[in-house]
Structure formats: C-alpha cells, structure tokens
Amino acid sequence: MTTTRQNFPRNAWYAAAYDIELNRALLARTICNQKLVMYRRQDGTPVALEDACWHRMLPLSKGHLDGDQLVCGYHGLVYGPNGRCTSMPSQQTVNPSACVRGYPAIERHRLIWLWLGDPALADPAKVPDMHWNGDPEWAGDGRRIHAKCDYRLVVDNLMDLTHETFVHGSSIGNRAVAEAPFKVTYTDDRVVVTRWMRDIEPPPFWAYQLSKKNGAAGRSDRWQIITFEPPGTVTIDVGVAPVGSGAPEGDRAAGVNGYVLNTMTPETDTTCHYFWAFCRNYNLHDQGLTQWLREGVTRVFGEDETILAAQQQAILDHPDKEFYNLNIDAGAMWARRLIDAMIAAESPGTPRPLEIAA
C-alpha cells in the first residue's frame, strides 16, 4: 500500500452524480470526505455547496430551493449558487462574512463533475474523457455503485482483468484471459494495458453479442485495451471479432465493440462512488440490448463489489501487512504512481514518486 498521507488529490475533477440523479431538489453527497449539497439552477446548470449552514451548521440539504437560491431549513438564511448569503431573518444588513464554500461544477459525458481543490486550477479541459457516454455513434447506459472500498482498489481491479477468469467465470471470464500476454505502456498522465486473446471461444457475454449482430458466434479474437487517467478514470475498449476477420490488424467491422467507462470518486478513505457505463457501437436502437447489457454488467460488477468490500475489510483488519506485486499488477502499479504523483504535487516538500522512480 502507498504510504502517502491522503488517498486522493484534491486538484482533480471528480464525478459526483449521474445527470439523472441531479434535479431541482437538494442532493446530499459526500465527496473526498467533504459533505456537500448539490442542486440544479432553473437553467439546469449544476451547483455544489458545503453542506453546513454558516449560522448554526444545520446541513443545507435539509432546507429547500427558492428559485436558484437555497433556504436553510432552520432559521431561513438564504444562499445564492455561489455560496454567498443574500438574506437573513429579522435584519436588513447581511453580515458580509456569511457564506459557505461553493465548488466549481460542470456537466459533461452524462455526469456532474466537481473540483474540490484550488478553484483557480479548475480547467474544464481537464474533465476525464468519457465522451462515448452521450456520443450519438454509441449507445448504452450505466449506474452508480456505492462501493465499500478505497477507490484505488477499484482502479487496481480494472487495471488487471486477469481476475475475470476467477471472479466472473460465468459471464466474461475464461482461461484465455488469464493465459493471454499483455503489454503496459505509460506516460506522465496515462497508463495503457493492452491484451489480445487470439482464436478463442468467446465467453457467454460476448458470444451473445456477436450472435445478436452477426447471427452466429464462433471462434474469435478478443481484445481489452485499458486506459487509466488519474486519479480515478478507467476506460476499457473491449470486443470480439470472428477469427481471421482482421481485428488485430485494425479492421473491427465484423466484430462487436464496446467501451466500459468507469470513474471512481472517493467518498471517504474506505468508500467510493463508482460510476460506470457500457456503450456499444452496433444495434444502436435496440433498447432490449441496452437493458440486457446494463443488467449483465450490473451482475458482473456486483461480483467485484463483494470481492472489493472483503478486500477492504481485510486491509483494515491487517494494518501491518502490505501488498505484493506480480507481473499482472504492472498496470495498477503505474496507475498508483500517477495518483501518488498528483497527491505529492499538492504536498510541498514531499519528493515526487515519479522522480524517485526515474
């Protein structure tokens, strides 16, 4: 395990809610150990404020909306979307220091993203790339999982899909996953793990999709290309194509291709919000297929949830123990180095892990 003081950087965009979760109502949510209240203005743009009234600290999420303003549910202080108090009961002048902290919020790729660090650094161009989730060329849907583990355990899980063989044997895993070689490449802001499984029998999840598109499913080439973007986003280009149809050489036309989009946001040090979606680029208007895929992936990720919660509990039960790294952990190791580098950059005086490694 890493020995850094904090598990996560603050200067990053974190997904806080799915678009459909946020409405004209107050939504309380904890992000990076910070209690927040969120809502949409009348024009739909998202707002995120500290969830404790300046006056006597009642959670503002217990109040109500009045137009774009939030009214505290205890003594009626009114706050604007920037967190500044605009009205106080029984007095004409508003105390100028009366405010709660507001956080930059942006809606993109069907998610609401928040920036909890230095607002001057909140560059919208840095929102992680999950564009498939909303691109008309792709169809799909997803969910939020409340995972009872450090968000980095989910990153580890997604960066090494060898576990599919053992955790997801009835759907997406078979021996071919654990047996196939893989390649890891990295830069200072990405880690990519590429695995091709050639001439294999596709597992049930993929055989079904291939037969949906082509009418039949036989031996196939299967790929998993995992891209990590720190601190918590993992997008996985996945698919299968009939063996000999040219997919490894770049022609995927005869196959089926999906993107598993994942972004994990720390809730506390030992829990996280795990937002995922599965998008595909074939049979775009087949609602039944969208539902079948969403329910299928929900079942698959349910298997991960059980493992991850048990792993987190074991980590808490054995504070003196460490992880050991195998070859299969190369992608996760690099992902954690990039996370550690972001955390170190926010802690002056701490040597940067990437400098140590160099």
Site residues for Fe ion per CB under 5 A: 304
Residue 62, interface with ligand FES (CB under 6 A)? no
Of 233, 155, 222, the C-alpha closest to 182 is 222
Which of these segments, 50-58, 114-122, 188-196, 330-338, binds ligand FES (CB under 6 A)? Answer: 50-58
| 56 interacts with ligand FES by CB under 6 A | yes
Q: Is 36 in the site for ligand FES (CB under 6 A)?
A: no
Burial class of residue 4, CB neighbours in 10 A (0-12, 13-18, 19+) = middle
Tell me: does residue 53 bind ligand FES (CB under 6 A): yes
CA 105 to chain centre: 16
Q: Which does 58 bind (CB under 5 to 8 A by kind): ligand FES, Fe ion, none?
A: ligand FES
| Region binding ligand FES by CB under 6 A among candidate stretches 35-43, 54-62, 177-185, 229-237 | 54-62
Tokens in use for 334?
A: 């690099």
Residue number with CB closer to Fe ion (30 or 194): 194
208 binds, among Fe ion, ligand FES, none (CB under 5 to 8 A by kind): none
Side chain identity at residue 91, one-letter code: Q
CB of 45 to ligand FES, least distance (A): 24
308's tokens: 């991850």
Give the nearest residue (CB) to Fe ion: 304
Which SS3 state, helix, strand or coil, does residue 123 take? coil
Residue 49 touching ligand FES (CB under 6 A) = no
Q: Phi, psi (5° rounding) for residue 144?
A: -110, 135
Q: How far is it, in rounded angstroms, from Cα 16 to Cα 48?
A: 10
* Closest approach of ligand FES to the CB of residue 68, in Å: 18
Q: Judged by CB, which is closer to Fe ion: 141, or 304? A: 304
The 67-106 site mask, x for binding ligand FES (CB under 6 A), equals -----x-xxxx-----------------------------
Number of chain positions touching ligand FES (CB under 6 A): 9
Of residues 25 and 57, the one with the C-beta less far from ligand FES: 57
Q: Could you say which of ligand FES, Fe ion, none residue 130 binds, taking C-beta under 5 to 8 angstroms by partner kind?
A: none
Of 94 and 315, the one with the shorter C-beta distance to ligand FES is: 94
For residue 304, the partner it binds in ligand FES, Fe ion, none, with Cβ less than 5 to 8 A by kind, is Fe ion
**96 vs 181, which CB is nearer to ligand FES?**
96
**Nearest distance from C-beta of residue 164 to Fe ion, angstroms:** 6
Q: How far is the CB of 76 from ligand FES (least distance, A)?
A: 6
**Cα dihedral sign, 134-137-143-145:** negative
- We find the least distance from the C-beta atom of residue 64 to ligand FES, in angstroms, to be 12
Residues 6+ apart with CB under 8 A from 349: none
Number of other CB atoms surrounding residue 119 within 10 Å: 12
Residues 6+ apart with CB under 8 A from 277: 110, 130, 132, 133, 140, 141, 142, 260, 261
Identify which of residues 116 and 297 has a Cβ nearer to Fe ion in the complex: 297
Residues 6+ apart with CB under 8 A from 36: 16, 28, 29, 30, 48, 49, 50, 51, 103, 114
**E-state strands within the chain:** 13-18, 27-31, 34-40, 46-50, 64-66, 69-71, 78-79, 85-87, 102-103, 105-108, 111-115, 139-147, 182-186, 191-200, 220-229, 233-242, 256-268, 271-280
Binding site for ligand FES (CB under 6 A): 53, 55-56, 58, 72, 74-77
